[in-house]
Amino acid sequence: MSQAGGGRGCGSSVPPRAPWSLVAATAALCLVSATSVWTAGAAPMSREEKQKLGNQVLEMFDHAYGNYMEHAYPADELMPLTCRGRVRGQEPSRGDVDDALGKFSLTLIDSLDTLVVLNKTKEFEEAVRKVLRDVNLDNDVVVSVFETNIRVLGGLLGGHSLAIMLKEKGEYMQWYNDELLQMAKQLGYKLLPAFNTTSGLPYPRINLKFGIRKPEARTGTETDTCTACAGTLILEFAALSRFTGATIFEEYARKALDFLWEKRQRSSNLVGVTINIHTGDWVRKDSGVGAGIDSYYEYLLKAYVLLGDDSFLERFNTHYDAIMRYISQPPLLLDVHIHKPMLNARTWMDALLAFFPGLQVLKGDIRPAIETHEMLYQVIKKHNFLPEAFTTDFRVHWAQHPLRPEFAESTYFLYKATGDPYYLEVGKTLIENLNKYARVPCGFAAMKDVRTGSHEDRMDSFFLAEMFKYLYLLFADKEDIIFDIEDYIFTTEAHLLPLWLSTTNQSISKKNTTSEYTELDDSNFDWTCPNTQILFPNDPLYAQSIREPLKNVVDKSCPRGIIRVREESFRSGTKPPLRARDFMATNPEHLEILKKMGVSLIHLKDGRVQLVQHAIQAASSIDAEDGLRFMQEMIELSSQQQKEQQLPPRAVQIVSHPFFGRVVLTAGPAQFGLDLSKHKETRGFVASSKPYNGCSELTNPEAVMGKIALIQRGQCMFAEKARNIQNAGAIGGIVIDDNEGSSSDTAPLFQMAGDGKDTDDIKIPMLFLFSKEGSIILDAIREYEEVEVLLSDKAKDRAAILKGKMIPSYIINSNPETENEEQPSSENDSQNQSAEQMTPGSQEVELVDQESPEDSVLSSHPESLSPADTDSAANASPSEQNPNPTENHEPTSPDGECTDLDDNQLQEQSETEEEPPPSVGWGKKAQPIDSILADWNEDIEAFEMMEKDEL
């Protein structure tokens, strides 16, 4: 979802902690055993090294911002692989992801205050002039209210805040007369019609020109919104009211927050993910701190800091107590059901919860912040980036990474709170990974799959608004910043609002409405800000002592079944409830326990066993809850067993001129032939086999001898194709799907199975590409004839690929400060989120055979489980997860928005000749080729060729 930032560490003292008893005993033993071996913390980083890293952040920002301004402006975002702007309506729709785009030069507005933080005051002044001259807020475009608020309204207000600061200093912006504030006010009025609901919760979308008026608006018919969408307005709207004196904005934002608070689940004090904006009914009743809810919690605490209203802190503390009671399972944060908070709602975590350690720092609860942050860092070290979603045993659930800044944000706040140089080393790792794996000639590209290193043609505006801001502040000393950052609070998009707004235009009633809903125990509330000097009493290694037990939490050396064990499950005088891992269908005692829990066992004709639960048939409510837990565990166990038989995706990397390893295609593995995860990668030129289907002896063995053969899928078994090309002398094979238009973007990756015979005779590696990915190679052959590829378990560092080759020096130069040095190749092992509501009642699970009914293709996603009764189905199996997050029922938003969620490239340094600024025009598809360094010409053509695949 959104990003959590923060200005000053303000909140309550550390509350009583729940016992750390939620990790399986085996994992606990591994962690406890590590406590005795922690050593001294990281060595202090010198001033010179910090300055060097800060300068590197500045250069990276220049690379991203400069390419946006040169190749994309005035479009909303840069497409870094094809070096052009993304214009709404001119590119293929990405669903709700595009709701952030409003034809208002989004990236420029989102970057305004970043320019000032990075001391680029001249560029800031030029950027403000461009915004005032070129940006139109009256476009006939439907946009997300949430995204437009945090990115555009927040960007304008952040720009205004620093513009008046610079004007007061007397050197820059002397001409400025609140023009950005007037634009912000205009936008605020455009967003107000979204609040035209009986509840006061805003519609999720609005037309910038027509509001929600039908039919012109083409919106205003939605019934649901996410909690964060409705609860992440108060900072920007209140700031707009305080800046302008127009109280209506703050009033509407407060009304929405009041309604959400009233609709919380009273027994658990948790809120759900999605709510009906007209009735206030919870549509999705799972609760966590990630996508769909995150910034709601953040804005409650920060509203207290910025506005000084005690009711916001009371609400935050109430929610926080519930989070730590039910959701926090250190170091994990797992979603639960708001009505039954002792039940986990899912078995995976989304990347957006990475903001939470930073928010805990602001709260003053440091220990769990350190624990969760360290767990996330271990995941990053394993995959180079934080996957969009990962399981409780730290496997990739969704493999995308759109360059999200939440982890960098929490790293910054933890460093400010602890002063531990360890977090500077963490920041250094983030910089290195961005440059090594995400940097491309025209900016930084999002990761399409962290396991293979493939890219996506997107560079979201929040990357410039937040990532570079937090990284620069991490390494900057106070004298490196031209203003006092402590005088401002960060919004969820890291925009800066001055704290003096708390005493300006206080015309809104600050009635404490919290007490109208519940009686609160004030004993846990401290109405003062925590002092970091007393958070770590005389112990400089405090943070290190917390982190060290988690160093191996992601490592495969310790088994790690994460199971919530209720204390009340072990009721006095009774046996613990039956666990799924212990169940035997032939054990009469187990069958009797199932019956007591309302679970029926059905033997199907095909030999499978089906389990169905009817909660109303259980002996008691406690037995029904045990039955629900048993069914959930069985779903997890069944899915896990299937996953263990699956192979991870592989990578096909084009390494010849002009690609030089920048094009990485996600490939499906084979259950036979050379295992690329255990053997050295296979490298060679490609050649098409004849016959193309490879189902008979090849007629062109001389063409494929010593090469990687291209074969079309169909007409015979995969193993037969492999034997035919192997007999012709091929060193590897790539099977290309014959289903035209198929793509790993829209279809689940699958692995090729054998033919039911012994396949030990197949010694060459075999990989599968969908049609769109395969067409990249076929088009490259038509264009360049000689095409060399690398078949591997994951994409390789281009410095290693190109070692010893005659290539242009700029390909391997990665840093202006380290010219002629090659980047070391990565040794990290590389490793999709639909949150279905889980309701107690009727559900089923089938215990299926582990072999696929087809022997030629094995799907890498287990079969979905269908409900057997309509009382209430529990559909929480990971097997039901949508393999393509952008097609989820709640698609990915670039910043998480009100929806649920969605490596290897060497950084490059190229200098661009100065040219006149491009003329402003929306019809422009790309900048002239000669605006890019001549050496890149052929590369750009190659990127354009791969455009359809990357989209």
Q: Which residues carry a binding-site annotation?
A: 492
Burial 437-469 (b: 16+ CB within 10 A, else e): bbbbbbbbbbbbbbbbbbbbbbbbbbbbbbbbb
Cα 445 from Cα 618, distance rounded (Å): 53
Q: Report the residue count for the chain.
A: 951
DSSP string, 842-874: -EEEEE--SS-S-SSEEESSPPPPPPS-SS--B
Residue type, 78: L
Evaluate whether 354 touches 408 at the Cβ level (below 8 Å): no
- DSSP character string of 807-830: --HHHH---TTSTTPPPPPP-PPP
Among the listed residues 876, 10, 7, 910, the one whose alpha carbon sits nearest the alpha carbon of residue 528: 10
Catalytic position from the list 70, 113, 294, 321: 294
Which element (helix H / strand E) includes 295?
helix 294-307
Contacts of 106 (CB under 8 A, 6+ apart): 76, 77, 100, 151, 152, 461
The type of residue at 901 is: L
Binding residues for Ca(2+): 492
**Contact call for residues 462 and 151 (beta carbons, < 8 A):** yes
Verify whether residue 913 is a known catalytic residue.
no
Encoded tokens for 724: 């035919």
Gap between the Cα atoms of 631 and 601, Å rounded: 12
Burial-class residue 653 by CB neighbours within 10 Å (0-12, 13-18, 19+): buried
Pair 487, 498: CB distance under 8 Å: yes
Which of 850, 679, 829, 650 lies closest to 751 in space, CA to CA? 650
947 has catalytic annotation: no
Burial class of residue 889, CB neighbours in 10 A (0-12, 13-18, 19+): exposed
| Residue whose C-alpha is closest to residue 595's, from 608, 614, 581, 610 | 614
Query: How far is Cα 798 from Cα 813, in angstroms, rounded to an integer?
Result: 11
Which residue has 């609040």 as its token pair?
A: 195
**CA-to-CA separations, 753 to 579, 606, 646, 671, 767, in angstroms, rounded:** 33, 22, 11, 5, 11
Give, rounded to a whole angstrom, the gap between the first and last alpha carbons of the chain: 22
Q: Computed over its alpha carbons, how large is the radius of gyration of the chain?
A: 28
Catalytic residue among 110, 125, 147, 939: 147
Which of these is catalytic: 406, 460, 681, 793? 406
Tokens of 169: 């200093």
DSSP character string of 234-247: HHHHHHHHHHH--T
Alpha carbon distance 370, 480 (integer Å): 27
Cβ-contact 240, 210 below 8 angstroms:
no
Per-position b or e across 322-347, b if 16+ CB within 10 A of its CB: bbbbbbbbbbbbbbbbbbbbbbbbbb
How many helices, marked H, and strands, marked E, lie in the chain?
A: 30, 32
For residues 252 and 237, is the Cβ–Cβ distance under 8 A?
A: yes
**Amino acid (one-letter) located at 763:** K
Contacts of 714 (CB under 8 A, 6+ apart): 693, 738
Beta strands in 301-453 (DSSP E): 328-329, 332-333, 336-337, 348-350, 389-391, 396-398, 439-440, 443-444, 446-449
388 is a catalytic site residue: yes
Active site residue 855: no
Q: Which helix (H) or strand (E) holds 638?
A: helix 621-644
Helices (H), 531-596: 532-535, 542-547, 588-596
**Of 76, 298, 335, 388, which is the active-site residue?**
388
CA 448 to chain CA centroid, nearest Å:
11
Which residues are annotated as catalytic?
Answer: 147, 294, 388, 406
